[in-house]
Amino acid sequence: MSPIPTAAPLAEALQQCLTPKVAVSYLRVSTRDQAHRGGEAEGFSIPAQRDANKRKAATLGAIVIKEFVDRGASARSANRPELQRMLEYVDEHPVDYVIVHKLDRLARNRADDVEISQALSASKVRLVSTTESIDETPSGMLLHGIMSSIAEFYSRNLAAEVMKGMTQKARSGGTVSRAPLGYRNQRNVDAEGREVRTVIIDEERAPFIRLAFELYATGNWTISSLAEHLNARGLTTVPTPRLPSTPIREGLLHKILTNPYYKGKVRFQDATYDGRHEPLIDSMIWQQVQEVLATHVNGERVRKHPHYLKSTVYCGTCKERLLVQISTSATGAKYPYFMCAGRHSKRTRCEQKSVLIYEVEKKITEHYQRITLEPKFRIQVETVIRNGLQEARTEVEAEHQSLQREKEKLQRQQGKLMEAHYAGAISVDLLGKEQDRITTALAQIEHKLTATSAHFDVVEKNLQAALDLTEHCGNAYKTAPDHIKKLFNQALFERILVTCDDNSPGGISIRTELREPFNTLLSSEMREAERAWRLNINASPADDRKGRSARSRTAFFQVNSLSNRLLVELRRFELLTSSMRTKRATNCAIAPDDA
């Protein structure tokens, strides 16, 4: 006969039956879109999981006292904030159950599933799935392992299928992600009711993106100063339902300047494909921007004291740049000087003293008054050069055809390269390197084709403008505002060398290195031709006819040879812009008082 239980154990057993179990609920959706679908803060999936978990807790006689929700978090990793908070909570508080809607809400790889299960077991917590019959029995543990493997397979297979689809979309020129700044993603519905997603140009922001590339290609801007300039003009990011538009940051601007998407290319998995979207810039501008970025690899410096001569004037002793220095007298008056950068940084042994900026400005203005051509002689020069341009057309057309054949050859190589990649014959790394090589070569050919694509009307117009400058540059420079004077100096001079000279007025002398075509139009040979021409037209009738004829022939041959020199490179007829490459002039135009 069994003993009759005492009152105390009966009371304890009754209390355990009446005390509800404690549970926590874990909810998760994979994407932000799921978390906000239907205009609701939690979309549709999270409330559905919550209700199912509560019903499961009721069948277990448990109360859900805490809820942990990961919104827009992938289960491929266990490093989810709410999951980690849940594991910490059950370790520190008495909890009987952790309830999930499905096992794949908790983990989608077996390693994380084992780690999470061990953590729950160590805390003496039972894992419960609302839709799956898992428990601590052998059959339940077997089902748990099978479902964990299925979840991992589904995750990996889904990732592979998504990657396959994105790769195919990139190959066909589609945009595989959100369109960058300057473009907009657009969703349309075709006649059959199917959704069609396209990328269109953002008419509000696209002009700013074009301006950013054009300005940075000049080499006169840093990323920080360009970002400030664009922000001042009104460029902002695109607002989203959760984030307002903000001014553009330096990091975003750098990404924009290095993104080949803007030249019509789609980059995916280190490979580049021709995009179906409309490019905002041409390949040459993009290449120039990359070269400028490469030169700024060690950082960019912002000029503290701007001046329109800073990009042009150099020390005549050591050839280093001149910096602006502001000196303050005892009375508080400020005096701006140009000082040698080599001496300032002690990179050179230069001992040239600082010079007043006013004296340098005055000297350069006087120099412009002297670098002019006689108007009538200028007409003769223009006539000879125009005749030479007519003869150059044939040569240019032949060069254009040769470049076109080279371009077609590279394009065929590009096509074969993609075919080999699709067939799995070459790796993605090799594909990327070869594409970069071909892209650079094509950009160079495009630049040459642009320079030789029969822009003779533009060349003749620019030639006339250059000759006009040689005839009227003195007065034009003297009356121009500072920013126009800077353009004058950049167009005419490679650099202006400033030297301290006590024997010259103002204590300084200058000499200039001219850019083409001005290096030829204002060279010493052209001066000699001009003097021979002037002697010929000023000779009296009593002069020897043979002598006049000789001087005339001398002037003609000199001008003709100079025109041939100019025709060596067709681009030298183009008025120089900041984006054009130039060669250092070998001749110096020396002002008469500096000779």
Domain 7-162 has CATH 3.40.50.300: no
Query: Does the pLDDT at position 84 exceed 70?
Result: yes
Cis bond upstream, residue 517 (ω within 30): yes
Domain-wise residue ranges, the chain: 7-162, 198-295, 375-393+453-594
Cα torsion 414, 416, 422, 425: sign: negative
CATH superfamily name and code, 198-295: Putative Large Serine Recombinase; Chain B, Domain 2 (3.90.1750.20)
Q: Mean pLDDT, to the nearest integer, of 440-454?
A: 71
Is 125 within 8 Å of 106 (Cβ atoms)? no
Query: Does the pLDDT at position 485 exceed 90?
Result: no
Total residues belonging to the chain: 595
Token reading at 446: 């495009």
Report d(CA 108, CA 149) in Å as an integer.
Answer: 8
429 confidence band (pLDDT: 50, 70, 90): confident
Report which of 87, 90, 96, 100 is spatially closest to residue 129, judged by C-alpha positions. Answer: 100
- Inter-CA distances, 76 with 144, 166, 389, 556, Å: 17, 19, 68, 81
Q: Which residues contact 588 (CB under 8 A, 6 or more apart)?
A: 511, 512, 513, 514
Helix (H) / strand (E) containing 158: helix 138-171
Helix (H) / strand (E) containing 552: helix 545-566
Q: What angle do CA 94, 99, 105 make, to 5 degrees?
A: 130
Report d(CA 342, CA 319) in Å as an integer.
Answer: 8
Report d(CA 74, CA 110) in Å as an integer.
Answer: 15
Q: Mean pLDDT, to the nearest integer, of 369-395?
A: 70
Per residue in 39-79, pLDDT (tens digit) is 444 444 788 888 888 998 888 888 888 899 887 666 566 67
Tokens 């006539």 belong to residue: 383
% the chain with pLDDT above 70 = 71
Is 76 within 8 Å of 105 (Cβ atoms)? no
Quick check: helix, strand or coil at residue 269? coil
Report which of 300, 280, 283 is spatially closest to residue 219, judged by C-alpha positions. Answer: 300
Average pLDDT, the chain: 76
Report which of 96, 36, 105 is spatially closest to residue 66, judged by C-alpha positions. Answer: 96
Please tell me the least confidently modeled range out of 23-32, 443-452, 453-462: 453-462
296 confidence band (pLDDT: 50, 70, 90): low
Per residue in 211-250, pLDDT (tens digit) is 999 999 887 788 888 999 998 888 988 888 778 888 989 8
Q: So what's the pLDDT on residue 523? A: 63
Token reading at 236: 């902002």
Query: Does the pLDDT at position 571 exceed 50?
Result: no
Report d(CA 22, CA 250) in Å as an integer.
Answer: 51
| Count of C-beta atoms within a 10 Å radius of residue 262 | 27
333 confidence band (pLDDT: 50, 70, 90): confident
Locate the DSSP E strands across 383-538. Answer: 493-500, 508-514
Quick check: helix, strand or coil at residue 32? helix
Tokens 């050591």 belong to residue: 318
